[in-house]
Amino acid sequence: MFQDPEFLPVYEALPAQDVFADLPAARMAASAASGDGKSDSTVDVEDRVVLANGHPLSLRLYTPASRGTDSLPVAVWMHGGGFVLGGPNAEDATCRRLAAELGIAVIAPDYRLAPENPYPAAFDDCYAALNWVADQADTLGLDASRLALGGHSAGAALAAAVALAARDRAGPRIRYLYLGCPVIDDRLATVSARAVTDPKLFNRRAAEAGWRMYLQGGDPRAGYAVPARTEDLQGLPPAYVMLTGVDPARDEGLEFAARLGAAGNSVEVHLVPGMPHMFDVLAPAARVTRRAVAAWTAAFADGIGVTSEFGDAHERRHG
């Protein structure tokens, strides 16, 4: 498969790996590569623990350090990690960037991980986080009318599942939905799912392992386990779907986006050529990465209802 020339040096330096073969080691490596989750001069970070479905749920709140008195738009952000890795620190950089540059609040739930906690644990935690944000909006100074969901990889699957549940359960109204590199279909029956097997990259084997540990033999058609298996996609919020060319999840994401559009939803699709799953983490300085991040962030700003010149400013700083 074609790889962007700027990514090739990164690719050459990557080791072959089976990410989920040694889960404790993978979790340690993921933790070491994550952000620190601390407040700085631009973003205030606060950790809270709330009661959700009878158990404690940790939430991380990011707010602009320079916030005024107006209520802030808010995004509930689900981290990636194949349903088995990570925590709020995994997408600390993304959450603090959105808070600082868009002037919004970001809530990151520390949802329970598989295989110790299979479906529906992670989904239940993320949906509980959404309800907590809506219930506490006034107290927290948040604008519940400008409430978005977002996530990357497995986090995108959870964001889609939460959006579906909010529709079906008459839950909080979601204004915008961002799905980055969504791992959204356990069947792995597409061309890209069969083609991307490179051991240096997120590949079919890793996708299979993540779904296996998340579902653990349960019915993938049950509830909100696998968003791509949902037959009715009507009535969902406007969505932005970012996909990459060298990703086993590419085609399932394209199919899901096409189905969203066919069901009457507003959907924007951005396919980033020549880059692998979670390319923004692997090659953040590449020009194609900067363009893609600027594009989805500008769309997210519009979708959540804030005025932002992020795209132009981002390119001026890094171009």
Contacts of 21 (CB under 8 A, 6+ apart): none
3-state secondary structure of 278: coil
Residues belonging to the active site? 153, 247, 277
Radius of gyration in angstroms for the set of CA atoms belonging to the chain, rounded to a whole number: 18
CB 6 within 8 A of CB 272: no
3-state secondary structure of 151: strand
Query: Measured in whole angstroms, how far is the alpha carbon of residue 98 from the centre of its chain?
Result: 13
Please return the burial class of 142, using the count of CB atoms within 10 Å of its CB with bins 0-12, 13-18 and 19+: buried
Q: How many CB atoms lie within 10 A of CB 253?
A: 27
Q: How far is CA 116 from CA 122, 129, 159, 216, 273, in A?
A: 11, 20, 21, 10, 36
Backbone angles phi, psi at 176, to 5 degrees: -155, 150
Pairing of strands 267-276, 239-246: parallel
C-alpha 146/C-alpha 236 separation (Å) is 15
